[in-house]
Structure 1
Amino acid sequence: MARILIRRRTPLSAEEAWRRLTTWEHHARHVPFTTIAVDTPPPTRVGTRFTARTGAGRVGFDDPMEVVRWEPPAWDRPGRCRMEKRGSTIAGWAEVEVIGQGAGALVVWREEVRVGALPWLPDALVAPAARLLFGRVVSGLLRDGA
C-alpha cells in the first residue's frame, strides 16, 4: 500500500477546518470527474457511509467509504476521523487530524491506498500521484470553504 502524509497549517479555527474537511460532498470540487454521495442520513458519525464516483459516462469506478472513528475537535483535544475504503477498486484507509494551534490549526492527513484493479501498479507510482491529489483536496477545502 502507498502511504501518504500531508500537513497543512491554516489560520482557520480547528472547528472550521474540521467542518470544511468533513463535508464529504465538497471534496469532489477538487477531484476531476468525481462526485460524492453521502449514503446515510446526517449528521456524520461512526457508521456514516459515502461513495466517491470517478469517471466519465459509463467508464469509471466507485470508492465507497465508511467513517469508523469520529471525534470532532474540542477545546482540550484535536479532532480525529478515520475512513475505511470499502470498495474493490480502491482499498485502504484515510485519517484526518485537526489540531488547534492558537487562533489557527494544523491539519494532518494520513492515508494508505492500494489500487485493487491494478495490483501490479507499484506504490512508488501510486504514492506521488495520491500525495498530489489529496494535497490538492486538503489545500482547496481549507482555502475555498464550503
Structure 2
Amino acid sequence: MATFHLRRTAPLPLDETWRRLTEWPRHGAAVPFTRVTVTTPPPTGEGTVFVARSGLGPVAFDDPMEVTVWRPPADGSPGLCRLEKRGRLVRGWAEIEVRPGPGGRTRVLWREDLRVRFLPGFCDPVLRAVSRRMFGRAVNSLLRRP
C-alpha cells in the first residue's frame, strides 16, 4: 500500500479550483497515455462512476472509480470529494479537498492510497515516489488549464 499526499496553493477562487479538479475527463489530458470516461449521467455526485484507461494499444488497463463523498465548496466552506478505486489491478482511494487560502487563493490537499495487484509490499516506496510525482504533475496541469 502506497499512501501519499500533495499540497498546492492555487491562485484561483475556491469554486474554480474545485471545478478544475473534479471534471473527470480533464484528468485524461493531464495524465500521459490515459483517457477518462464518465459512465454515469451528469451531474457529478455520490455514485458517479468513471474509468481511467491507461496504457498503449493492447497493453492497457482500466481503473474504475466511484465518487463516494461529494461535498462541493459552498459559501466559502471547504469542499471534499472521495473516490474509491475498484479495479482489478489498481485499488485504494483518493480524496480531493479544497479550502479557502490567503488572498483569495485556494489550498488543495490531495490524499491517495494505492494498492497495485501483484506488486509486492517492498515496492511500495517506489510506487509512492512515482505516484506522488505523476499525480503532482497532473494536479499542477489541472490547476493551470482553464
TM-score bin, normalised by smaller chain: over 0.9
For 2:8 and 2:116, the matched residues in 1 are separated by 25
Instruction: Give the number of equivalent residue pairs.
Output: 145
Q: Deviations over 1:31-68 (max 9, x none)?
A: 11110000000100000000000111111100000000
Q: Deviations over 1:61-119 (max 9, x none)?
A: 00000000000001242000000001110010000000012411000000000111424
> Which structure has greater helix proportion?
2
Aligned to 1:87: 87
Aligned to 2:139: 138
1:1-146 paired onto structure 2 within 5 Å: 1-101=1-101, 102-119=103-120, 122-145=123-146
Range with greater deviation from structure 2 (131-140 or 99-108): 99-108
The CA deviation at 1:121 is 5.7
For 1:119 and 1:87, the matched residues in 2 are separated by 17
For 1:17 and 1:137, the matched residues in 2 are separated by 14
TM-score by length of 1: 0.95
**Helix, strand or coil for the counterpart of 2:6?**
strand
TM-score by length of 2: 0.95
| Alpha-carbon contact 1:38-1:50 (below 8 Å) kept | yes
Q: Cα RMSD between the aligned structures?
A: 1.1
The CA deviation at 1:120 is 5.2
Unaligned runs of 5+ in 2: none
Unaligned runs of 5+ in 1: none
The runs of at least 4 aligned residues of structure 1 exceeding 3 Å deviation read none
